[in-house]
Amino acid sequence: MKLRRLAGAGLIAGAATLGYALAEAHWYTLRRVLAPVLPAGARPIKVLHLSDMHLTARQRRKVEWVKALAALEPELVVVTGDNYAFADAMELALEALEPHLARPGAFVFGSNDYYSAILKNPAAYLFGPTDSEPERQRDLPTEAFRQVLTRAGWSDLNNARGQLELGPERLATDLVGLADPHLDWDRMPDPVSHSQAALVLGLVHAPYLRAVDRLVADQARLVLAGHTHGGQVGLPLYGALVSNSDLPARLAAGLHRWRSTDSFLHVSAGLGTSPYAPVRLACRPEASLITLVPADA
Ligand SMILES: [Fe+2]
């Protein structure tokens, strides 16, 4: 009898936690971060970091929320991949980004910009990196999506470099990015001299150690990544248990100094989840407004 009561209580607690986690997946939040990466004396620069929207055709509220972020008037918008879950949501993803396309921007893609979402065992996520889609046909309209962004002047940084002049002081900035390491598609672009650049920014979807190391070795002062979903299901007051990569789970979201360098890694916990595991626990869906400030500020 006692056992049955205990089992009943466990079931109720489980159902309540699931209900909460289903709700939390819709509590979009803006996280504000200061990143001390600019040269001394430079004026602050606002960077909006969007990641892992995983949009489906029914997620209009998320679209409106992302569109409204244009009011922050960032000087740069970066998107670190996994924009939409199925082909029928591509237009919606473009609608979400549309008000941002008037600003300078840069992007890399994640596996879910090439392959639509498929049903996997959600528990597998807790026991190491998930499969990286090796044998499937690419079934998303990747090139059509890419074209809209590049025609707006955004830098496509999938194994590529870019340059822009950032903020009111037109700070010479070099950009470098990698295609998704979760798919093993990351190849460093040819080396260049950054002697004219006041700042180097790196982008990659999945923050595998080798990828962040290579971007930092290429002099990126700040590397921006997504993919982890901040662990997606964390423990309250403890945080992420996994990063879905070889990155330590404690780095699965937020800004952290990279090893013993002067560089930083910023991981966005992202705005979505796989449509087949639409839960988040102790890990709100987020966009980040990163204010770049001088390192000595
Ligand atoms: Fe993702």
Report CA(287)–ligand 1 centroid distance (Å).
Answer: 13
Sheet holding 199-204, edge to edge: 160-166, 171-178, 199-204, 222-225, 264-267, 254-257
pLDDT at 251: 95
pLDDT of residue 123: 63
Q: What is the pTM of this model?
A: 0.92
C-alpha of residue 81 to centroid of ligand 1, in Å:
7
How far does the centroid of ligand 1 lie from the alpha carbon of residue 273, in Å? 6
**What's the CA-to-centroid distance between 261 and ligand 1, angstroms?**
27
pLDDT by residue for the chain (297 residues), tens digit each?
576 776 776 766 666 677 766 766 678 999 999 999 999 999 999 999 999 999 999 999 999 999 999 999 999 999 999 999 999 999 999 999 999 999 999 999 999 999 999 887 666 655 667 766 667 899 999 999 999 999 999 999 999 999 999 999 999 999 999 999 999 999 999 999 999 999 999 999 999 999 999 999 999 999 999 999 987 666 677 776 888 999 999 999 999 999 999 999 999 999 998 787 776 666 789 999 999 999 986
State residue 292 phi and psi, 5-degree precision. Answer: -80, 130
Give 37's contacts (C-beta < 8 A, 6+ positions apart).
Answer: 199, 221, 222, 263, 264, 292, 293, 295
CA of 191 to the centre of ligand 1 (A): 29
> What phi and psi, each to the nearest 5 degrees, are found at residue 251?
-100, 10
Cα of 54 from ligand 1 centre, angstroms: 7
CATH class of 2-294: alpha beta
- Tally of residues, the chain: 297
Question: Rounded to the nearest whole angstrom, what is the distance from the C-alpha of residue 121 to the centroid of ligand 1?
Answer: 15
| Amino acid making up residue 195 | S
CA of residue 80 to ligand 1 center, whole Å: 9
Q: How much distance in Å is there from the Cα of 247 to the middle of ligand 1?
A: 15
| Res 134: pLDDT | 62
Give the pLDDT of residue 160. Answer: 98
Q: What is the pLDDT, as a whole number, of residue 233?
A: 67
- In the reported structure, the alpha carbon of residue 272 is separated from the centroid of ligand 1 by a whole-number distance in angstroms of 7
Q: What is the pLDDT of residue 239?
A: 72
1 DSSP 8-state letter: -
The Å distance, Cα 292 to ligand 1 centre, comes to 25
- Burial class for 293, CB neighbours closer than 10 Å (0-12, 13-18, 19+): middle
